[in-house]
Structure 1
Amino acid sequence: MGTDSTVRARWVASLYPDAGEAGGSLQYPVRRRPSFGPGDPERAKAEAGRRARTKVRRYCAANRLNRLGTLTYAGKGCHDPKQARADAGEFFRALRAELGGEALPYLWVPEWHPGGHGLHLHFAVGRYIKRSAIERAWGRGFVHIKLLGDLPTGSGRLEEARLAARYLGKYVTKDADQGWEGLHRYEVAQGFQPARVSIIASTGRDTIAQLAEQMARPPDYVWWSSETQDWQGPPAVWVSWAA
């Protein structure tokens, strides 16, 4: 009998219905070692950043976080990442109190100010909040909040949230070595992680068919790894729905 592991290979995909996206790849019974590791720290760092940006995108999309805000420190600013994290936690607790204690999905990321003023905190929420409430909850400087626009006519909250995720995702890996060693580069409200549905299929096309069945319609966008030159991983697919 043959022992070729590819005979028993199967497609495994993860669908995030609320985020309107799914991704999968061909997997083998014996897990292949990644092509990078301790000997390739830059590649490992880039992969960690990609995974973080993916999680940011799914969280924002699933919770329709389509309003972006910025928290700025007054005076000389804050130059301590641990202090900034503590201040962010206190801000969101105070903001929930301003909203009557209601649970609130949110995501925030830090950014070092290019002018040397220290840290800014960028965040996304999915509902209208009075600016005065944000100012009272922050109490350390200045705030800015806006609903995202500049999207094609007909775009809804999902596309707005994806745009917010792209904006916030830029800061997940930006200046990652400046005081953030051992610290998460973004934080989210607990209890709002997007639900995941596992799909197992025999072929890539069967994977697409099962995903379409789960979502009750075909995906609006399909990407195959075969379309990417010099793709080094196993065959993979990524799909998304517009709404």
Structure 2
Amino acid sequence: MPHGSSDFSFLTRPDAGWVLNLYPTAGEAGGSFVPSYRPASAWVPPGAAADPDRSRVEAGRRAKKKLRTYCAHSRLNRLGTLTYRGSGCHDPAQLRLDVAEFFRKLRASLGGDPLPYVWVPEWHKSGHGLHVHFAVGQFVPRSMINEAWGRGFVHIKRLSDLSVGTTTWQEARVAAGYLSKYVTKTFGSDSAERLLGLHRYEVAQGFQPPVIRLSGRTSYEALAKAVEIMGFAPSVSWSSDEAEEWKAPPAVWFAWG
């Protein structure tokens, strides 16, 4: 194997083959093919990706996956909105202080037990400033949300316009999809939604889904191991073979429930 030029240097991968990350409590698994050799990557300064557009797409995809598995793990299937009264809030740092206080009060009102949640900020198109979209996984009286927020208006609803037989995993994925719309648009190259130096979304700590790393010579072999753990076959599957413009290594995704 030629050496010397970065264009022709290669690194050996001891974990070559298919690698599948299974999130059993979220009912999801995804992975890709890891080749035996890959070109040694050259150092790139932070913020100077070789292909910025592709980097933004990949960052958005990773954020959506983290959000989806978090919501599914905790069955977050109720969506809410917090809006400021008056001239609104135009300070992202102040928004985070206000929302942190809101969830502390809400958790205390519910008895003090740990409360899984996720929230995403969004700028009003009307110039009113910031408001918040959030998801929780249990019934919370609207009056309790009003009291905990105390800064304006609230809205809360359980996802009810889904087909009969929809599971809580599926409800949570729909909720995650709704929130992901506000997360992914902050990855645009000229997005006014970006909150520099701040997270694009926030979650309650201590509720990250556990992950099991599986491998196999083929994707079917790796999937068979996942099925053995889950106890039944996935209800949804996807392969990069279905994507005409796919430029990354071969990949698969499966969902249960």
Moved more, 3-12 or 153-162: 3-12
**Counterparts of 1:17 and 1:118, CA distance in 2:** 39
Question: Which residues of 2 match residues 9-158 of structure 1 at below 5 A?
Answer: 9-32=16-39, 33=41, 38-158=49-169
Q: Deviation at 1:175? A: 4.5
Q: Deviation at 1:39? A: 3.0
Contact 1:111–1:174 (8 Å) recurs in 2: no
- Which of 202, 205, 210 lines up with 2:225 in the alignment? 210
Equivalent position SS for 1:19: coil
Moved more, 216-225 or 13-22: 216-225
Q: Which residue of 1 aligns with 2:214?
A: 199
> Residue 223 in 1 paired to residue 238 in 2?
yes
Q: Deviation at 1:9? A: 2.6
Equivalent position SS for 1:18: coil
The code of the aligned residue for 1:12 comes to: V
Partner deviation per Cα, 1:181-235 (whole Å, 9 max, x = no partner): 1210100000100111110111111112111111111111121111211321111
Equivalent position SS for 2:25: helix
Percent of aligned pairs with the same amino acid: 56
Provide the aligned C-alpha RMSD in A. Answer: 2.2
Q: Deviation at 1:22? A: 0.2
Unaligned runs of 5+ in 2: 1-9
**Counterparts of 1:13 and 1:136, CA distance in 2:** 44
**Counterparts of 1:93 and 1:223, CA distance in 2:** 39
The code of the aligned residue for 2:23 comes to: Y
Contact 2:74–2:116 (8 Å) recurs in 1: yes
> Residue 233 in 1 paired to residue 248 in 2?
yes
Unaligned runs of 5+ in 1: none
**Counterparts of 1:7 and 1:105, CA distance in 2:** 37
**Counterparts of 1:118 and 1:143, CA distance in 2:** 16
CA gap of 1:173–1:221, structure 2 versus 1, over 3 A, is closer
CA gap of 1:168–1:93, structure 2 versus 1, over 3 A, is same
CA gap of 1:7–1:141, structure 2 versus 1, over 3 A, is closer
The code of the aligned residue for 1:206 comes to: E
CA gap of 1:116–1:175, structure 2 versus 1, over 3 A, is farther
CA gap of 1:65–1:5, structure 2 versus 1, over 3 A, is same
Partner deviation per Cα, 1:136-184 (whole Å, 9 max, x = no partner): 1111101000011111111121111111001000000334543501210
Contact 1:110–1:121 (8 Å) recurs in 2: yes
Contact 2:80–2:157 (8 Å) recurs in 1: yes
**Counterparts of 1:190 and 1:206, CA distance in 2:** 34
